[in-house]
Amino acid sequence: MTSQSEAETYSFQAEAAQILNLMAHSLYSNKEIFLRELVSNASDAIDRLRSERYAHPESVGAEPEQEARIRVAFDKDAGTLTIADNGIGMSRQEVIDNIGTIARSGTAEFLRTLTGDQRRDAELIGQFGVGFYSAFIVAERVVLTTRRAGLPASEGVRWSSDGKGEYAVEAVERAERGTTIVLELREGEDELLNEHRLRSIVQRYSDHISQPIVMGQDEAPVNQASALWARPKSELSEQDYHSYYRHLTNDYTDPLAYVHTKVEGRYEYTMLLYVPSRAPHDLWVPQARRGVRLHVRRVFILEDTGQLLPGYLRFVHGIVDSADLPLNVSREILQGSQAVDHIRSSAVKRVLKLLKELAEKEPGKYADFWKQFGGVLKQGIADDPAHREDLTELLRFTSTRSDTQDADVSLGDYVARMKEGQDKIYYLLAPSLAAAAASPHLEAFRAKGIEVLLLGEAVDNFVVSGSLREYQGKRLQSVAQGAPDFGELTDEAEKEAAEQADSDYAALLGKLKAHLAGKAWDVRVTNRLTTSPACIVADGEETDFTVVQRMRGSGLPNQPILEINPRHPLVERLNRDQEDPRVREWAHVLFDQSVLTAGARIEEPATFVTRLNDLLTALTADTTTRTADTPD
């Protein structure tokens, strides 16, 4: 190789410098992981070449077919270690984008996730896309030489850096495609210049890489170099499955569960699907890469973009290997393929069955799963009517039965505990679980011992506002929607008290409604409150969550209803002193307090504070006057 131009020098950005410093000084006790990461990157490059060759053959040009391989070599005299692949390689711009610009690979999130535990932090490297830089754990200088498949030999690129703030990029002549990385080892790293030591590291971390990893003059494979999913299950141990998961995902925690199945019949395919133990940092990023890879007859074709599993199962990782699809399959062909539709349906059923078994047999593990992925799984209730029944059984909720925020209540659990005479499943939507648990809407339900499900995520609105209306013949009912109806759980004395309150407070209700014209659609007495003076609710046509969301926006296009508690001392006093001019101010304070209690914002907070201060001052003055008038 001869230089074709002067090297251009660039500076790493600040976050990159942090990463490089971390690699050089903070992860030394887990230094073996550098080889795992570089071999994994080489494997990905070979997979991408195969995919590109079939999907876009024009982009790789007339590159000769070669047996895929990853080569690991060392030079004792030079003190260097080399990892080379004949994968897709990189262009100059790709080198700058993917190697020079670390932040593109999730650096900021990686740095926020660091714990100080060297072993755990080392396991995060690949997950956040910064695995290449682990080379600096053992190397004082790294030289990467590459040429992208399809480009001429004159467009080879060399990248080099000592990891101290700058890197250089220059053009070189490179006949072969792919990438070669040379590590100039630090002093004291001589143990890596030993074939037995390198073999043991490869076999420990990279045995399930599907391409052969070769070493020595005979270039005999060091790893098994076989597609694990294609091997009989009887030959595989749990450790085999876990090791392959770590290779596939760069997540070095064990998966929570997995399913491995081969289907033969009209369509022939193999699936190996994993449920992770923890959510990735980009779980809620719509454009993030999905976790299932499509292979055709063991050849990697492409990453899933939604055809193999629906969005609400985007956390699933794994392999689908089809014997029926063409090797040159495109994303467009996938969208109209009956074989893919069949595979997708089967994959969804397998995953949901796996989760059901986990919930039934290992509820503790399922509780861990729900904490990580419950919010995503709920999306399926709205998005996938065909599997709604199965998904409903997997739902878990927080409820008033417990003082914790643990979501451990299924709808089946709730129905089994319903009070005699109760005919509805009650729930409350709020901006957060904390807001739900503190809501005044729960007061009467708690007093009667009626369990209420607490829903505090945005997706919950879609679950209960149209997708899931009933369960086992029991209608789901918001406790903040419409007038409360306890049915057979309301005794005659309560009914008589409610009728009397309607009569006793009719005049006050009229005044409050007039004072709140433009803010409240109606004002009425309620039996849903026991300790709070008032609350806002929606009418029967919209959900409580809709009211809260609209109040968070600009104004109140649909006005809520203000309900007052006829047994509260403040409300009783307002009823006695209806002609007091301060009733108008109290009306607005009660309304705004109720809005705040619902977790929403009030339109004029400064006005609210002024009103409240004026009323408190007046009450203080009244108290002072009464005290002065009292004889000693």
Is 118 a residue whose pLDDT tops 60?
no
Q: Does residue 382 belong to any structural domain of this protein?
A: no
Which residues on neighbouring strands pair with residue 71, listed in sequence order? 84, 214
Q: What does the alpha-carbon distance between residue 596 and residue 548 come to, in Å, rounded to a whole number? A: 10
Q: What does the alpha-carbon distance between residue 155 and residue 161 come to, in Å, rounded to a whole number? A: 20
pLDDT of 373 reads: 96
Contact between 333 and 368 (Cβ < 8 Å): no
Q: Is 540 annotated as a binding residue?
A: no
Q: Is 539 annotated as a binding residue?
A: no
Which residues on neighbouring strands pair with residue 399, listed in sequence order? 453
Q: What does the alpha-carbon distance between residue 380 and residue 385 come to, in Å, rounded to a whole number? A: 8
220 lies in the same domain as 234 = no
Q: Does residue 616 belong to any structural domain of this protein?
A: yes
* Mean per-residue pLDDT, 368-384: 94
421 lies in the same domain as 512 = no
285 lies in the same domain as 216 = no
239 lies in the same domain as 212 = no
Q: Does residue 1 belong to any structural domain of this protein?
A: no
What is the chain's percent helix, strand, coil content, to nearest 5?
Answer: 45, 20, 35
Band of residue 315 on the pLDDT scale cut at 50, 70, 90 = very high
Band of residue 2 on the pLDDT scale cut at 50, 70, 90 = very low
237 lies in the same domain as 182 = no
Tens of pLDDT along 517-551? Answer: 989 999 999 999 999 999 999 876 655 645 555 45
pLDDT of 166 reads: 87
159 lies in the same domain as 271 = no
pTM across the whole model:
0.73
pLDDT of 101 reads: 61
pLDDT of 298 reads: 79
Domain-terminating residue out of 192, 226, 260: 226
Q: What does the alpha-carbon distance between residue 57 and residue 49 come to, in Å, rounded to a whole number? A: 10
Calculated CA dihedral for residues 603, 608, 610, 615, nearest 10 degrees: 160
Q: What does the alpha-carbon distance between residue 299 and residue 295 come to, in Å, rounded to a whole number? A: 5
Band of residue 416 on the pLDDT scale cut at 50, 70, 90 = very high
Q: Does residue 499 belong to any structural domain of this protein?
A: yes
Residue written as token pair 């201060």: 613
Residue 366 is encoded by which pair of tokens? 């399922």
Tens of pLDDT along 10-26? Answer: 887 666 667 777 666 65
Which residues on neighbouring strands pair with residue 156, listed in sequence order? 172
CATH number, position 470? 3.40.50.11260
CATH number, position 605? 1.20.120.790
Amino acid at residue number 42 = A
pLDDT of 542 reads: 59
pLDDT of 462 reads: 83
Closest of 377, 281, 264 to residue 321, by C-alpha: 264
Q: Is 128 annotated as a binding residue?
A: yes
What count of other Cβ atoms lies within 10 Å of the Cβ of residue 338?
Answer: 10
Q: Is 129 annotated as a binding residue?
A: yes
Q: Is 116 annotated as a binding residue?
A: no
pLDDT of 258 reads: 97
How many helices and strands (H and E) does the chain possess? 22, 22
Q: Is 130 annotated as a binding residue?
A: yes
User: Residue 69 carries which DSSP code?
Assistant: -
Band of residue 122 on the pLDDT scale cut at 50, 70, 90 = very low
Mean pLDDT of the chain: 85
Q: Within 13 A of 296's CA, how many CA atoms are on the CB side? A: 16
Q: What does the alpha-carbon distance between residue 560 and residue 534 come to, in Å, rounded to a whole number? A: 13
Domain-terminating residue out of 456, 487, 518: 487
Tens of pLDDT along 188-229? Answer: 999 999 999 999 999 888 887 889 999 988 888 998 877 899
Q: Is 537 annotated as a binding residue?
A: no
Closest of 560, 531, 533 to residue 446, by C-alpha: 531
Q: What does the alpha-carbon distance between residue 422 and residue 488 come to, in Å, rounded to a whole number? A: 7
- Parent domain of 278: 229-371
Q: Is 106 annotated as a binding residue?
A: yes
40's enclosing H/E stretch is helix 33-55
Tens of pLDDT along 378-413? Answer: 999 999 999 999 999 999 999 999 888 889 999 999
pLDDT of 465 reads: 76
Question: What share of the chain in percent tops pLDDT 90?
Answer: 53
Which residues fall within 8 angstroms of residue 439, CB to CB, at 6 or more apart? 428, 430, 480, 535, 597, 598
69 lies in the same domain as 152 = yes
410 lies in the same domain as 442 = yes
Q: Is 221 exposed, middle or buried (0-12, 13-18, 19+ CB in 10 A)?
A: middle
CA angle 347, 362, 400 (to 5 degrees): 105
Tens of pLDDT along 478-508? Answer: 998 887 777 777 777 888 888 899 899 999 9
Which segment of 171-180, 354-363, 611-620 scores lowest on mean pLDDT? 611-620
13 lies in the same domain as 153 = yes
Q: Is 523 annotated as a binding residue?
A: no
270's enclosing H/E stretch is strand 269-275
Q: Does residue 383 belong to any structural domain of this protein?
A: no
Q: Does residue 289 belong to any structural domain of this protein?
A: yes
Query: How large is the angle between the packed helices 338-361 and 363-383, nearest 10 degrees?
Result: 140
Residue 394 is encoded by which pair of tokens? 């997997």
49 lies in the same domain as 143 = yes
pLDDT of 126 reads: 46
Residue 391 is encoded by which pair of tokens? 């998904």
185 lies in the same domain as 308 = no
User: Residue 89 carries which DSSP code?
Assistant: -
Q: What does the alpha-carbon distance between residue 567 and residue 252 come to, in Å, rounded to a whole number? A: 59
Tens of pLDDT along 126-168? Answer: 444 567 888 998 999 999 999 999 999 999 999 999 988 889 9
pLDDT of 392 reads: 97
Q: Is 131 annotated as a binding residue?
A: yes
Q: Is 40 exposed, middle or buried (0-12, 13-18, 19+ CB in 10 A)?
A: buried
Dihedral sign computed on CA atoms, order 83, 87, 92, 96: negative
**Alpha-helical segments (H) within 398-440:** 411-417, 433-437
Q: Within 13 A of 430's CA, how many CA atoms are on the CB side? A: 26
Q: What does the alpha-carbon distance between residue 141 and residue 160 come to, in Å, rounded to a whole number? A: 7
Q: Does residue 387 belong to any structural domain of this protein?
A: no
pLDDT of 235 reads: 92
Residue 434 is encoded by which pair of tokens? 């904390």
Q: Is 48 annotated as a binding residue?
A: no
Structural domains counted in the chain: 4
Contact between 322 and 343 (Cβ < 8 Å): yes
> How long is the chain?
632
Q: Is 37 annotated as a binding residue?
A: yes
199 lies in the same domain as 121 = yes
Q: Does residue 390 belong to any structural domain of this protein?
A: no
Instruction: Read off φ and ψ for residue 579, nearest 5 degrees.
Output: -85, -5
Q: Is 496 annotated as a binding residue?
A: no
